[in-house]
Amino acid sequence: MAEAKLHLADDRHVDLPITRGTEDEVGLDISRLRADTGAITLDPSLGNTGACTSAITYIDGEKGILRYRGYAIEDLAENSNFPEVCHLLIRGSLPSKSERDDFRTRMTRHTLVHEDMKKFFEGFPPSAHPMAILCAMVSSLSAYYPEDDSPEELDLNIIRLLAKAKTLAAFSFKKSIGHPFIYPRNDLGYVANFLRMMFAVPAEPYDIDPVVVDALNKLLILHADHEQNCSTTTVRTVCSSGANLFASISAGICALWGPLHGGANQAVIEMLDRIAVDPDGCEKYINLAKQKDSGFRLMGFGHRVYRNFDPRALILKKSADALLSKLGVDDPLLAVAQKLEEAALSDDYFIERKLYPNVDFYSGILYRAIGIPTDMFTVMFALGRMPGWIAHWLEERNSPGARIIRPRQIYTGATARPWLPIDKR
């Protein structure tokens, strides 16, 4: 039964059934709007448009709530590890002990990349951004592991993607510094394996610091999903055309790269670096951010959904303090970040617009403490977001009655005009 009705000025109308979410969110179903009235909705940048229903992640931006499959992000960050959260997002439940062991073993066993793929790395210049390498490599996986329609093969490709992404990420770092690749080891867990591939040097022992493993697990968990953000929407859109898993996720990686999305973590550190050496300090940058024509924004501030606080930023702020003191790292950028946050949060411009630090504001400080170079930050985000993208890809693919995603537009160009020969234009 219709619960809302939309009347257009000329008496045309349409019944709008209401879809309610499990948290009582309300969606007006406009799927009959064009057929019944000839009109469409206009919602540039889709701030008011629900493009799907989803059972993966719940966010309440006013209350600062983020839950994966019903579990609070705070609980998951405190108590789970990243492979467990991958299982939760992709399979829908936290694993039992045997499921966890099986999932872990498979994620480890498929970590190696095809030897031929190593040749791809040789073709990139040493200055190549690791995000450029990562998206090319992930898309190339489809050449090695073509999709067939069996659920077993698809499941294997999901595991391959989760397992190999960290190897590809670490190899792209090694390539950028001209060091030989370090191969994965099957006796190590996801994060320890990644750290070793990143930082070990051949023929030298490499000790894995459990403090760093914990911190990285937490960072990856906090990035693992965030419902219909720009990159996830990209993944779902590409999936809706029937494109394979690797191609769709590679498109998501490209969408993540931009500085308004995942690229913000790199941009934050570059901004803090600038502020740290500028005698005019934070105040100058707060003022610049308030001047629209300056083209400058406070990176790591603001969010389309969170209007109160970003729960991930709160967790990371606490972790940054704790990690730096545990590792004995004295990073002057932490003090700059804290000062900038304090100044922004007491400024009317930021208060009125409800602009708070987002997940990217403190994540870079943590990555730096772990030793991850700045241009790898967005790659780290991509590794964390991988299970979320995969879960959404599966959900989109398996949605009953799902059609190719194809929005409409309101045309504002020239009306019909005659074609003229070149001497008469």
Q: Contact residues for ligand ACO (CB under 6 A)?
A: 260-262, 264, 289, 297-304, 353, 355, 358-360
Candidate list 87, 129, 223, 303, residue with the active-site label: 303
Element (H, E) at 414: none
Cα(209)–Cα(232) distance, integer angstroms: 32
Cα(301)–Cα(310) distance, integer angstroms: 10
Cα(259)–Cα(272) distance, integer angstroms: 15
Beta carbon of residue 384, minimum distance to ligand ACO (angstroms, whole number): 10
Beta carbon of residue 274, minimum distance to ligand ACO (angstroms, whole number): 15
Candidate list 225, 310, 360, 375, residue with the active-site label: 360
Residue 200 vs 222, nearer CB to ligand ACO: 222
Residue 211 vs 351, nearer CB to ligand ACO: 351
Residue 130 amino acid letter: P
Cα(67)–Cα(78) distance, integer angstroms: 13
Nearest-CB residue for ligand ACO: 302
Residue 197 vs 253, nearer CB to ligand ACO: 253
Is 303 annotated in the active site? yes
Cα(61)–Cα(303) distance, integer angstroms: 9
Tokens found for residue 70: 């019903």
Cα(244)–Cα(240) distance, integer angstroms: 10
Cα(425)–Cα(422) distance, integer angstroms: 6
Strand, coil or helix: what is 6? strand
CB 255 within 8 A of CB 286: no
Residue 90 vs 289, nearer CB to ligand ACO: 289
Beta carbon of residue 341, minimum distance to ligand ACO (angstroms, whole number): 12
Residue 113 vs 221, nearer CB to ligand ACO: 221
R_g (Cα) of the chain, nearest Å: 23
Beta carbon of residue 400, minimum distance to ligand ACO (angstroms, whole number): 30
Beta carbon of residue 55, minimum distance to ligand ACO (angstroms, whole number): 22
- Residues belonging to the active site: 303, 360
